[in-house]
């Protein structure tokens, strides 16, 4: 930390209390959370967090896609872009209590720490949460921050259809979170996001802080296979057009391909639905999703091509048609070297072990990186588990992450 900087000390007990209070909204009863984007539970989380923002005297703006930016004034007069931090408070269906929420609530803790220290940073400090970061109800992921940075027109975002058939714009209106602030939003001076690693690296190496170098490429494809419903008992194998069989072959291929490519390559078939989904009917239709990711853009493109050609040759051999829909496609993103350096230096200054690593998960930071110098701070995930109610990060690790975040934000806002 730069010596001339005031010592702004975050307090982990307040952060833990906020995390627990937010975890009570959309509580799944097993230690986890379900606040799928733009559901009533998401709305409940929004109400709670915006209430805390207002209690802290922040200027709260809600934009037309429902992103919330709460700003603490700086001393440097009008026209100075804020330093921004934040993340998301929507969750997957089997969410834990730290994914996303840590970044937003640690931002509020930095505000409290500044108030405690009587410090007014030169630049304003903004704490944001972005709509539908998870993308699991309405694809793509990082939807709100993508619209915020001008990566998707508002109208296209409002027309998105959820896996349950809801239309994004209508849901936003229904829950009362269609704001008036325009999108794209104003580019911050810099953006730094605190997030759990959600993977095993920091814990396996006994490292406290991750200075995140960037985010790997993400490819989400939806594959629809159409065969022919038929009687499971009377239809000879040679006469079948079994969409369920092709779906299962594709799922197996995705797994084998990811393992064979090695490196950071991962592949997941997370959704798989059959129709008519009955024990004694050959599946007429299968709809599945293929999530492929890699830090290497070229290898990711190869993986996509290999999956597509396998699926199509398997489908045609079975007399099944295959059609694709892209749900999300983001190239790998490199964070700003200066911000990565600041994260690393802040950890060292606090006597914390730190290492650089890419993010396996997508984050709002990868969108803000399009418009301003951006970086992330990671803290360890126990067992590398996330998107699971057992998601856990120890209070000492949360405290370290929040303090490093505070130091970097104060440094950037000076
Ligand atoms: O899918 C992701 O990486 C993030 O959780 N949205
Ligand atoms: Mn997240
Ligand atoms: Mn997530």
Ligand 1 near 291 CB (within 6 A): no
Closest ligand 1 atom to the C-alpha of 142?
6
Q: What is the per-residue pLDDT for 407?
A: 98
Distance 319 CA to ligand 1 centre (A): 35
Provide mean pLDDT across the span 338-346: 98
pTM over cut 0.95: yes
Query: Number of C-alpha atoms within 13 angstroms, CB side, residue 258?
Result: 17
Q: Are 212 and 375 in contact (CB under 8 A)?
A: yes
pLDDT band at 367 (very low <50, low <70, confident <90, very high): very high
pLDDT in tens, 223-274: 999 999 999 999 999 999 999 999 999 999 999 999 999 999 999 999 999 9
Q: Rounded to whole angstroms, how far apart are CA atoms 135 and 207?
A: 30
Looking at residue 1, its pLDDT comes to 42
Contact 361 CB / ligand 1 (< 6 Å): yes
Separation in Å, CA 271 to CA 36, 137, 268, 306: 16, 12, 9, 20
360 Cβ below 6 A of ligand 1: no
Q: What is the pLDDT of residues 14-66, one digit of tens each?
A: 999 999 999 999 999 999 999 999 999 999 999 999 999 999 999 999 999 99
* For residues 313-334, average pLDDT: 98
Whether 274 lines ligand 1, by a CB cut-off of 6 Å, is no
Smallest CA separation from ligand 1 atom 5, residue: 134
Going from the Cα of 115 to the center of ligand 1, the distance in angstroms, rounded, reads: 33
Answer whether 141 contacts ligand 1 (Cβ < 6 A): yes
Ligand 1 centroid, distance to 186 Cα (angstroms): 24
* Ligand 1: nearest atom to the Cα of 99: 5
Contacts of 132 (CB under 8 A, 6+ apart): 37, 38, 88, 90, 138, 141, 143, 144, 168
CA–centroid distance, residue 230 to ligand 1 (Å): 38
Mean pLDDT value of segment 92-120: 98
Whether 372 has a pLDDT exceeding 50, the answer reads yes
Task: State the DSSP code for 201.
Answer: H
DSSP labels, 270-319 = --EEEES--TTEE-SEEEEEEEEEES-HHHHHHHHHHHHHHHHHHHHHTT
pLDDT of 2 reads: 45
**Per-position DSSP letters for 209-237, written without gaps between them:** EEEEEEE-EEEEEEEEEE---EETTTS-G
Pocket of ligand 1 contains residue 134 by CB under 6 Å: yes
Ligand 1 touching residue 193 (CB < 6 A):
no
Distance CA 157, CA 185 (A): 15
Say if residue 352's pLDDT is above 90.
yes
């Amino acid at each position: 930390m730069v010596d001339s900087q005031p010592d702004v000390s975050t307090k982990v007990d307040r952060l833990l209390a906020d995390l627990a209070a937010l975890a009570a909204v959309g509580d799944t009863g097993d230690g986890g959370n379900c606040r799928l984007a733009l559901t009533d539970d998401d709305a409940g989380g929004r109400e709670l967090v915006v209430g805390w923002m207002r209690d802290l005297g922040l200027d709260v703006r809600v934009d037309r896609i429902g992103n919330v930016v709460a700003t603490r004034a700086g001393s440097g007069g009008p026209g100075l872009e804020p330093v921004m931090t934040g993340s998301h408070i929507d969750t997957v269906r089997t969410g834990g209590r730290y994914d996303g929420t840590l970044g937003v609530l640690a931002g509020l803790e930095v505000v409290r720490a500044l108030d405690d220290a009587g410090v007014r940073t030169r630049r304003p400090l903004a704490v944001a949460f972005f709509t539908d970061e998870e993308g699991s109800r309405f694809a793509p992921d990082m939807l709100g921050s993508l619209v915020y940075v001008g990566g998707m027109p508002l109208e296209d975002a409002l027309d998105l259809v959820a896996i349950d058939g809801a239309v994004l714009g209508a849901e936003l209106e229904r829950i009362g979170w269609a704001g008036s602030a325009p999108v794209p939003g104003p580019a911050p001076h810099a953006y730094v996001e605190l997030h759990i690693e959600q993977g095993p690296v920091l814990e396996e190496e006994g490292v406290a802080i991750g200075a995140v170098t960037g985010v790997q490429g993400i490819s989400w494809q939806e594959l629809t296979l159409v065969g022919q419903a038929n009687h499971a008992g009377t239809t000879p194998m040679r006469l079948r057009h079994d969409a369920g069989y092709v779906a299962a072959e594709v799922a197996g291929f995705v797994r084998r391909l990811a393992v064979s490519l090695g490196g950071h390559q991962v592949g997941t078939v997370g959704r798989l639905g059959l129709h008519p989904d009955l024990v004694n009917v050959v599946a007429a239709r299968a709809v599945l999703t293929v999530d492929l990711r890699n830090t290497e853009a070229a290898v990711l493109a190869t993986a996509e091509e290999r999956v597509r050609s396998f699926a199509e040759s398997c489908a045609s051999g079975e007399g099944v048609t295959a059609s694709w829909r892209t749900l999300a496609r983001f190239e790998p993103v490199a964070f700003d070297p200066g911000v990565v350096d600041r994260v690393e230096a802040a950890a060292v200054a606090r006597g914390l072990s730190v290492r650089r690593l890419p993010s396996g998960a997508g984050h709002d930071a990868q969108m803000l990186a399009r418009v301003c110098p951006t970086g992330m701070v990671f803290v360890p995930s126990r067992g590398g588990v996330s998107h699971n109610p057992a998601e856990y990060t120890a209070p000492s690790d949360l405290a370290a992450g929040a303090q490093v975040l505070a130091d970097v934000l104060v440094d950037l806002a000076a």
